[in-house]
């Protein structure tokens, strides 16, 4: 009894499954499984694509050569040819970069030339004394004028032609007591001997002025 019931339930389930699968197919008809006929993809190009770079001069030359309609005037044509010539000249004549070694050499040469030039020492030519040269006997060299005047006065009292000659050197004043002048050196030497004998003073004979 139970076995038959089970078989009936299984058979009913199988029938339901078959009905679910095939009934929609019978109602809607067979599905269209045809291939896609239309698409928005463009056709494949027939010409080959070239990625070659064309220089500016070649493109300008091609435009000038292929233009046969006569729309380009002589002035425009001449300017374009001038531009083409300038471009080609610039491409052909590239300035050479100065070498670092050459610059160093030129700088070193310039420095050696500058160092070789030694400063020329100017020759100092002493001016020759023009006129009559005499001789005097110098007896003292004082920084105080009072002392120089005192010695000068004593020499004059003794009968010697004495005089005081001031001198400024490095901002300091000094006073020289001298006797003379004498034209001959021999006379000046004789005068010095007289002063030594009479005044007990020692001095030197110098040219004057």
143 within some domain: yes
81 within some domain: no
Rounded Cα–Cα distance for residues 15 and 10 (Å): 9
DSSP 8-class letter at 80: H
Give the pTM: 0.38
51 within some domain: no
189 within some domain: yes
Residue 138's CATH number: 3.30.70.1070
Q: 137-192: per-residue pLDDT in tens?
A: 999 989 999 999 999 999 999 999 999 999 998 888 999 999 989 999 999 999 99
pLDDT computed for residue 101 by the predictor: 52
Structure token pair of residue 51: 């990625």
71 within some domain: no
Q: Which domain holds residue 175?
A: 134-208
User: For residue 122, is pLDDT > 80?
Assistant: no
Overall number of domains in the chain: 1
Q: 84-113: per-residue pLDDT in tens?
A: 455 555 455 555 554 545 554 555 555 555
pLDDT computed for residue 113 by the predictor: 53
Q: What is the pLDDT confidence band of residue 11, given thresholds at 50, 70 and 90?
A: confident
Residues 105-134 have a mean pLDDT of: 56
Residues 119-126 have a mean pLDDT of: 53
- Longest Cα separation, the chain: 193
pLDDT computed for residue 161 by the predictor: 93
Question: Do 165 and 206 meet the contact criterion of CB atoms below 8 Å apart?
Answer: no
Residues 6+ apart with CB under 8 A from 47: none
User: For residue 136, is pLDDT > 70?
Assistant: yes
Q: 37-74: per-residue pLDDT in tens?
A: 566 677 776 666 666 665 655 555 555 555 544 444 44
Residues 9-13 have a mean pLDDT of: 88
The interaxial angle of helices 185-199 and 145-157, nearest 10 deg, is: 90
- Range with lowest mean pLDDT among 2-6, 26-30, 114-118, 202-206: 114-118
The per-residue pLDDT of the chain, averaged, comes to 72
89 within some domain: no
72 within some domain: no
Within 10 Å of residue 20's Cβ, how many Cβ atoms?
9
């Amino acid at each position: 009894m139970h076995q038959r019931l089970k078989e009936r339930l299984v058979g009913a389930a199988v029938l339901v499954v078959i009905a679910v699968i095939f009934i929609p197919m019978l109602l809607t008809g067979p599905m269209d499984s045809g291939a896609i006929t239309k698409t928005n993809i463009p056709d494949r190009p027939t010409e080959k694509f070239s990625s070659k770079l064309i220089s500016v001069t070649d493109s300008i030359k091609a435009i000038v050569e292929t233009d046969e309609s006569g729309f380009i005037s002589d002035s425009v044509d001449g300017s374009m040819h001038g531009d083409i010539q300038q471009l080609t000249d610039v491409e052909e004549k590239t300035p050479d970069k100065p070498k670092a070694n050459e610059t160093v050499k030129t700088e070193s040469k310039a420095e050696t030339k500058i160092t070789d030039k030694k400063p020329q020492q100017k020759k100092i030519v002493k001016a020759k004394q023009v006129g009559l040269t005499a001789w005097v006997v110098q007896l003292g060299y004082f920084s105080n004028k009072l002392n120089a005047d005192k010695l000068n006065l004593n020499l004059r009292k003794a009968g010697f032609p004495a005089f005081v000659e001031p001198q400024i050197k490095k901002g300091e004043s000094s006073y020289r007591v001298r006797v003379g002048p004498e034209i001959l050196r021999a006379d000046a030497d004789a005068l010095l001997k007289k002063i030594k004998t009479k005044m007990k003073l020692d001095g030197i004979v110098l040219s004057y002025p």
